Chain A
Amino acid sequence: MHELSIAMSIVDLVEEEMAVRGVEVEAVHLKVGLLSGVVKDALLTSYEMACMQTPLEGSRLVIEEVPILVDCPNCKVRRPVLSVQWFRCSECGTPTAEVVEGKELIVTALELRQ
């Protein structure tokens, strides 16, 4: 359950942005890769707790999940993997660890209070 410390990092980061930009935030948009090690539901619950008694209390966390893409050494293109437990090109089955997408944990945008 490291989601709470991640939620607190998100709150810190957004509070900094709010101060710099002089805005109020209604929702935080976050990209979460399937290899980021973060469980979406646990993060949503933690976010609510992390926001308590901060300027973000009552704000929403909007999570966009990012699928895993690898560079297939055989097909020479980016492909999805068969599954998290089956790290092979979904087309030709070649094993590969060259992950190009799916590790993200990025705050992408802030929805401002009108």
Chain B
Amino acid sequence: MNTEPRLVEVRKNVLKQNDIIARALRDQFRDAGVFVASLVSSPGSGKTALLERTLTLLRPHYRVAALVGDLATENDAARLSRSLAPVKQITTGTLCHLEAAIVQSALGEWDVNHLTSFSWKTSEILFARRHTTSARISGLCSCR
């Protein structure tokens, strides 16, 4: 009697749906010539401070915008709004990361063609367009 385990090959990507949306977002930013940066680091390490300063310095020269993710509060967006750049808060509840679909829906009515730069943080995302720079966007970022 054969006692070897019977294996069937499947090869299914667990995050397929996320990857599809992330690729579409990446293409959208690349086509619009928007530079995208994703800021991810430990709590308290200075993501918001860095972004606040960056937005303030870039805003007079570039069309910059930022998306910020937080579990509960809108404090980060309020802080970043002082730079006068468009800022949108994503409140994730109990989720500690931003999935591509969440970013896509948060982009909502923003016309990326009118941005030069964009960033997000998962806490935060910074968008910036320079006509020579292609966009980079990470599909799934985590805020550990």
Is the Cβ of A21 less than 8 Å from the Cβ of B12? no
Interface band, chain A: 20 to 34
Is the Cβ of A2 less than 8 Å from the Cβ of B12? no
Q: Tell me which of A2, A10, A13, A110 contacts B7 (CB under 8 A).
A: A110
Is the Cβ of A26 less than 8 Å from the Cβ of B5? yes
A1-29, CB < 8 A from B: 1-2, 6, 9-10, 13, 17, 21, 23, 26-27, 29
Is the Cβ of B95 less than 8 Å from the Cβ of A2? yes
Q: Check A111 for interface membership: any CB of B closer than 8 A.
A: yes
Is the Cβ of A2 less than 8 Å from the Cβ of B96? yes
Q: Check A108 for interface membership: any CB of B closer than 8 A.
A: yes
The distance in angstroms between the C-alpha atoms of A9 and B99, with both chains bound, is 14
Q: Tell me which of B5, B7, B10, B140 contacts A37 (CB under 8 A).
A: B140
Q: How does the 8 Å CB contact mask read for B1-21 relative to A, with 1 for contact and 0 for none?
A: 000011111111111000000
Is the Cβ of A10 less than 8 Å from the Cβ of B8? no
Interface band, chain B: 10 to 19
Known: A13-B12, A105-B14, A107-B12. A1 touches B96 (CB 8 A): yes
- The residue on A at minimum CB distance from B17 is A9
Q: Check B129 for interface membership: any CB of A closer than 8 A.
A: no
Main secondary structure of the interface of B (DSSP, over half): strand
How close is A63's CB to chain B, nearest CB, in angstroms?
A: 12
- The residue on B at minimum CB distance from A110 is B8
Known: A2-B97, A37-B142. A112 touches B8 (CB 8 A): yes
How close is B41's CB to chain A, nearest CB, in angstroms?
A: 12
Q: How does the 8 Å CB contact mask read for A84-114 relative to B, with 1 for contact and 0 for none?
A: 0000000000000000000001111111101
Is the Cβ of B97 less than 8 Å from the Cβ of A21? no
Q: Please list the 6 inter-chain residue pairs (A to B) with the smallest Cβ-Cβ separation, ordered nearest first.
A: A112-B6, A105-B14, A107-B12, A111-B5, A109-B7, A37-B142
A contact residues vs B (CB 8 Å cutoff):
1-2, 6, 9-10, 13, 17, 21, 23, 26-27, 29-30, 37, 105-112, 114
Q: Offer 9 A-B interface pairs, CB within 8 angstroms, sorted by A.
A: A1-B96, A13-B12, A21-B8, A105-B14, A106-B14, A107-B14, A110-B7, A110-B10, A112-B6
B contact residues vs A (CB 8 Å cutoff):
5-15, 95-97, 140, 142
